[in-house]
Structure 1
Amino acid sequence: MMENSTWEQKLNVLTHVLTYPTTTPPLHSQYFVATQLPCYLNWDYPPLLCRHASAASQPLLLKWAFSQFLKRVSRFGLPHTSWRSKCPFQQPPPLVLAKGVEEARWGEEERRQYVWKRLRRKRLGSNVNPIIPILLPNLLLFLFLFWDPIPLDET
């Protein structure tokens, strides 16, 4: 459990992860994190190096492998992207750029062109004539004014 770790261990791991961000951690990094913190199934590397690895580690490995399979199937095999992947000018740059995002170029002219391209982009939404959403409900209300579905005279 995470409660078994001391604050010093948590701080060491946090410092390590923040100073060496990567999607494919090397073996020494995995070993360091595994010795400091307990293992979880949502990690990207197998729970081979866990402190609590015992003879019952085979079901843990199967669970981890199945969870990795489900993650990849849900993304159709595409790399994991997040909100950072869509921000090429963020520091440090994202590890995996989202599809359709170009790598950041830091020259003055390139940044100006990037901003103009973003400003010229079409807005999100549908291309419906603005008269239609106003006119149709008003016409329906107007129809109900003249058409009486329940007549009051029953003669």
Structure 2
Amino acid sequence: MESLLAEVSRLHFPGHPATLAQIAAFETHVGWKLDEDLRAFYLHCNGCDLFVSSPDTRFRVLPLEQIMRARVAIRGNDRDEAGAASLYTLVDMQDSDYLVLDVARCDSGHYPLFDAWHETFPELVPVASSFGEFLKKALCSGNQAFWLSSEPLEG
């Protein structure tokens, strides 16, 4: 993660680091703990825009205070018929679509990420097995939704 975070700082648009108190308050509020990759990211920067600064960015990793249940963000509904309670927004794709993480699935200590397309949500498309894997692929993507492309990644 260290080299990925250095690249975020050098070439992209990171926010200020989250404090330990902000992380603790977030974890208490949502009822789950950040995994190792997410904790490292948020201690480095509390959200970021990749490639292009807001409002034109395609990849906006949300600051802690904007992460919410995906069913609320996408459907405006916090009931089970609107999607699993364990899905949380993480990356705003700026077109009412999100990359979400599933806190009910923790493989090797990491939460997997999925594409949550608003028209078909709660159906999900796998994107990465961890935030670190997502960040690595996103940084090599040339600002493209790499999981939707059959083209090889740059770098």
Tell me if TM exceeds 0.5: no
Rg larger in 1 or in 2? Answer: 1
Q: Higher strand fraction: Structure 1 or Structure 2?
A: 2
TM-score by length of 1: 0.20
TM-score by length of 2: 0.20
Q: Higher helix fraction: Structure 1 or Structure 2?
A: 1
Structure with more relative contact order (C-alpha pairs < 8 Å, separation 6 or more): 2
